[in-house]
Structure 1
Amino acid sequence: MISAPWPVKQVETEKRRLEILRCLNAAPEYTLQAPILRQHCVAMGIPSTNDQVAAALEWLEEQELACTRRTMARVLVATLTARGAEVATGAATTAGVARPLP
C-alpha cells in the first residue's frame, strides 16, 4: 500500500502564517515590516522568501487577520487585527493557519 506524500509545502505555509501572526502579536503596536517577518520565519526554521511572506500577508489580510500597507519606500508593513491576535494565541482557529502548540 502506498501512502499519500506528506504535504510539506502546505504545512510550511500554515506554519509561516502562524509565525507571522505570533511575531506581530509580540511587536510594539502589533506592526512590523515584511523583511523582519521573513527573518523571524527563517529563524524559526520555516524556509521563507520575500514572495512567500508577501503572499502570506496578502492571505492574512483577506482573512482579516492582519492589515497591510506600503511605506513611501514601497516596503510592505503589516499590522495585526484583534482576530489575528486571537488566532496567534490559540484562542481562536482559522483554516489555513497552523494551531499553536500548547
Structure 2
Amino acid sequence: MIEFDVRKEEGGTVVGPQGRLTMVSARAFRDTVTEVIERDGGTIVIDLAGTTFVDSSGLGALVACLKTARQAGGDLRIAAPTEQVTMVLGITNLDRVLRPRATVDEALRG
C-alpha cells in the first residue's frame, strides 16, 4: 500500500509518494495529484525520496500528471529520486522529459 504526503511549500505543493509506485498504486497516485492540481494549481513537486520502486505503470502515471499539470497552466517537477527510480528514468529516457532535481527546494525554485 502506498501513502501520499501532501504539503504546501513556498513556491508550490509537494506530493511525496511513500512506498512502491506500481500498477496497484498508480491510479491512486494520479487521482491524488490531479486533486492537488485542481485545488492548488501552479507548481507541483513530486518528492520521490520515499518511493522505493517504480514500474511502467508508475512512469505512465508521472507522465499523465505532467500533462494534466501543464494543461492546467502549471508544471510538475520531480525531486530526490531514489537509486532505483533514477535508473528506470534513465533507461526509459524519461529523465529528459521529467528532469529530476536533487532536492525539493531546487525543484520548487525551478
TM-score in terms of structure 2 length = 0.30
Q: Larger relative contact order (C-alpha < 8 A, sep ≥ 6)?
A: 1
